[in-house]
Amino acid sequence: MKALVQRVSSAGVAVSGRNVSSMGAGLLVLVSFSPNDTPGDLDWMRDKLIGLRVFPDDGGLMNLSLTETCGGMLVVSQFTLHADTRKGKRPSFTRAAPPETAGMLYRVFIQKVREAGVEVSEGVFGAHMEVSLVNDGPVTIMVDSPSERE
């Protein structure tokens, strides 16, 4: 599992010109799944993201987590994070999970984040989405689950 995490002051998703999801301050998380992802990867990523200390404390240092700031999370599926660009000019996406698997993992991941007490907004899996955001900082971090590092 890969996640591209952006600290935002606001973010939203539109599909076919219609706003389907929005949030205020928190994390915009673009996620991609591989065929090797396990429930343990989903738990690991959930815990990593909600505990990631990327929000400023009173002194302006990145010392606070999402849970400490009561921020929300907008989760958007983006299989292109698994692009392989080593050869040629066209990316290969063979490292991404097939849509049926990825859709199931996406729904399970969102449920796990909700069960942890985080307010979650979501994109529309498989849809052509327009994602808008105000990146706060900017702060953008790539996070790979343990199975991605094997």
CA 26 to chain centre: 11
Residues that are catalytic: 78-80
> Of 20, 129, 136, 34, nearest to 83 (Cα)?
34
145 contacts 44 by C-beta, under 8 angstroms:
yes
Phi-psi group of 107: left, alpha or beta (phi > 0 → left; psi -120 to 50 → alpha; rest → beta): alpha
